[in-house]
Each structure stands twice: as structure tokens, then as C-alpha cells.
Structure 1
Amino acid sequence: MPQLPPVTKALLLICTAVFCVQLLMGPWLEGWFALWPVASGHFMPWQLFTYAFLHGEPLHLFFNMFGLYMFGAEIEMIWGRRRYMQYLAASSIAGGLTQLVFTAAIGQFGPTLGASGALFGLLLAFGMMFPERTIMPLFPPIPMKAKIFVAVFGGLELLSGVFSPYGGVAHFAHLGGMLGGWLLIRFWRGQPPFPPRRRR
């Protein structure tokens, strides 16, 4: 298990602190900072960023923060603070945009909250950077290679989103986070659909 680099540590503390504030003033906080569908009349542009700091319940917070620690800490130490924060922001915003498109398509008006879009982006990055590393997820507690873990969870999210669109879990925000992270990594590497990057 990796040590806690500064950005990961700060995010763990911020999300935990925000959740404590939610316990006191949840409806007001979520009304302004959760991600509301455009058609709801409550959408504000900053919600594409702020929704990632809110969580619905203690287990939601715990699993997201555990995943941030498990996958994000090592990535931050390799990438550095700036690139790591860029990646988290891209994954979170892409997840939010994907969720907005999905909620508009099915006519859903409830808010989305949680760092899962950014977390699934980190999961994808971890699988791309360390595809052969064996990890032990909490669920299911079966050791598997990182690339298999990413493929399995991505597939499960897609199936769950298609067959259970009203289940209360933002599956397409998770998938959007993975897509946003994948596109950013491809951009950094100068790989299609982006032009090759020139060396200076």
C-alpha cells in the first residue's frame, strides 16, 4: 500500500470534511453543489467540478476514498502534483458531462454526487500503467491482474447502466470518467485520435 502524497492526502481530508458539513446542512449544500440535470432548473456550471466532493452516505465516501488511496497515491508519486490534478479534473468533468447527457436522455431529474467519475478514471490509468500487477479488490476478494480488473469493472458498469438506468447509481458518470481519463492519456502520449506530439 503506497504512502500518502500531498494531493491525495488533501483530497481525502477535503471530501471527509465536506461530508461532515453535509450531515449538518446537506439539502442546502447539495442544492448548490451536487450535479443537477440541466432540465431540473438547478444546474450550475460549477457543479461539474463540485459534485465530486459530495457523497451520499458513509459507505459511499469510504469506498471512494479507499479507491483514491489505493490507486491514486502511487499515480500521483509517478506523475507529480500538476499532471495528477489535471487528470482527476478531466475524469471528473468528463464523468459529469456524460451523466448530464444520460439524465437528459432518460428524463431523470435527481442530482449526482460523488468522486466515482474521477476514481474510475484513476482505475483506468492504473490498469494502463501497471497492467500486469496483481491486485486484491475488496469486492470480489479475488486476486487479479490490473488490466483484468479494469475490464471487468468497466464491463459491469456498462451492463448496469444499460439494464438498470434508474437504480440510483451513476454508472455512466463512472464510464465517462474512464473515457475522459483515457482520452487525456492518449493526448499526453500523442496517440490517435490526437496528433503526434512534437518533441522539443
Structure 2
Amino acid sequence: MTQYRPPLLNLPPVVKNLLIINVIMLLGTYVLQSKFGLNIDNYLALHFPASDYFMPHQFITHMFMHAGITHLFFNMFALFMFGRVLESVWGPKRFLLYYMITGIGAALIQTGVNWFDYSSMKSAVDAFSNTPTPELMSEFIKNHVGEVRPWVQDFINSWAEYPNDASATNQAVILMNRMLEGQINGATVGASGAVFGILLAFGMLFPNTELMLLFPPIPIKAKYFVIGYGVLELFLGFQNQATDNVAHFAHLGGMIFGFILIKYWQKNSNRFY
């Protein structure tokens, strides 16, 4: 008599354990924060190298941290849907290697982009410190911060009425440097880079497999889905990198490293996988 086993128990081992670890880490984050006031993002999320919170192991640990249930759900759903297929094709060792390399590669790309953003912000702050004006402060926020808290906008409006007020000018310089400090101490979390690498791999291995989109509910071949997603992330990365709090270039980084790794395997093997 065949014994029924829940779907989770039929998952290949790496995907199953990745799902379990990511769920445990999110629950642990909530418990440690609420019970002990400990924010483990300071230790495990990926920080900018100039930050006091940065540690090299964060290039790995950030992949197991998430910003919330919704963030976790969509990443793990994609891992569940596509990762189990790839692990069945590649085997556990190769799939885990691919997952880790694409995740770390995504983090490296995102760190590089953050470095350029930081350099641009620092130059703007230095220029502002030399000639502080309300107009320059508004331009800086528009280009590098996006949405601003209402009290900051009220401060700019008040300062604009009395632009020669030395006290307001000094306060503006302090605020600008705090915004720069916020950029330095910002953190990146999530398995999205590795997940986008998985999407890329699925599109390359099974290009003509039809996927059903949710919005709009139409079928699309995997290869077109992956190409479209990549183009969209590139567009959003340049348009909204400083304002929407999404690491679009990390997503692209996962795809780029995934493509390079697959091509390397393809070149050095008689099989595609």
C-alpha cells in the first residue's frame, strides 16, 4: 500500500532545506527583535563596505534574510516552483553551487552599484557644503533620496523664505550628512538575486515551456518571460534605483552570473547540465 506523503516531503533536498532555513530565519528575526530588542539585520544583512556594520560574511548571510512575509513568500514561491525542477535536472550539489554563486554574484553587482551611488551622493553633499542653498537641497533629495519626510520639506520651505539664516544653513548641512550616512548604513536582504538566477536557468533549460502569468492571465514561453523580466529590471534599475528601495541590479546580477556559469558548464561538458 502506497503511503501518502505531503508535497514538501517530495521536494529535492536542497530546495526543501533552503525553504526551511529562510522561514526559520524570518521567524527568528521577529522573535529576537520583539523579545530581546536584537536586530540581527545589523549582523547578517548585507551592508555597504564603508559602514561600521559591514562584515564579509554578509555576502552569504543576506540571502537568508528577508524584509517581511510578503518578501519571503514571493522569493520562496519562485524557489519552490522553478528550483525543484533545476535540482532534479542538475542534482543537489550543482544546484546548491549555482544558487550560492548567483546569490553572491548578485550581492557583488549591487555593492558596486551602491558604491557609484554613494560616490555621487558624497560629491553632491560636498558641493552643497560649499554653497548650501534650499534649491540644491531639494535637487539632492529628488535625485538621491526620492520621497522625503514632511518635516524635512517644511524645513526646506522655511529656509527658502530666509536663505541667509545661518542657523538654518548649518542645520541643512547636518541633515545632508545624515542622509549620506543613511546611504552608508542601508542594508540589502533577500534571496532575490539567487531566485532571478534560477529564473534565468529555467528559461535557458526549458525555453519553450509555457508559463501562466497572473497579471495579465496569459501564457508566455519561459524564454520570453526571462528576457522581458530582465529588460524590466534594467529599466527599473536606472529609473528607480534611489527611490523604490528595491535592489534591481542585484536581480540583474543574479541573472548575469547565472548566464556565465551555465555557459561555462555548457562549454566544459558534453551535456547542457
Trace 1:171-190 onto structure 2 (pairs within 5 A): 171-190=248-267
TM value normalised by structure 2: 0.68
Matched residue, 2:30: 23
Q: Larger deviation: 154-163 or 20-29?
A: 20-29
Deviations 1:67-106 (A, max 9, x none): 0001100100110000000000110000000010011111
Deviations 1:125-171 (A, max 9, x none): 00000000001134443210000110111111111100001210000
Contact 1:18/1:53 (<8 A) preserved: yes
Matched residue, 2:18: 11
- CA–CA separation in structure 2 for the residues paired with 1:44 and 1:115: 18
SS at match of 1:144: strand
Matched residue, 2:94: 83
Structure 1 gap segments, 5+ residues each: 191-196
Matched residue, 2:237: 161
Q: What is the letter of the counterpart of residue 77 of structure 2?
A: F
Contact 1:39/1:104 (<8 A) preserved: no
SS at match of 1:135: strand
The count of corresponding residues between Structure 1 and Structure 2 is 193
Of 200, 204, 207 in structure 2, the residue corresponding to residue 131 of structure 1 is 207
Structure 2 gap segments, 5+ residues each: 1-6, 119-182
- CA–CA separation in structure 1 for the residues paired with 2:255 and 2:197: 4
TM value normalised by structure 1: 0.91
- CA–CA separation in structure 2 for the residues paired with 1:164 and 1:88: 26
- CA–CA separation in structure 2 for the residues paired with 1:113 and 1:176: 14
Trace 1:16-165 onto structure 2 (pairs within 5 A): 16-26=23-33, 28-107=39-118, 108-109=183-184, 110-165=186-241
Matched residue, 1:194: none
Q: Larger deviation: 134-143 or 16-25?
A: 134-143
Q: Where in structure 1 do 4 or more consecutive aligned residues deviate above 4 Å?
A: none
Contact 1:71/1:126 (<8 A) preserved: yes
SS at match of 1:71: helix
Q: 1:43 deviation in Å?
A: 1.4
Q: What is the letter of the counterpart of residue 151 of structure 1?
A: I
SS at match of 2:50: helix
| Structure whose CA Rg is larger | 2
From the superposition, tell whether residues 139 and 73 of structure 1 become closer, same or farther in structure 2 (CA, over 3 Å). Answer: farther
SS at match of 1:28: coil
- CA–CA separation in structure 2 for the residues paired with 1:132 and 1:74: 15
Q: Please, what is the CA RMSD of the aligned residues?
A: 1.7
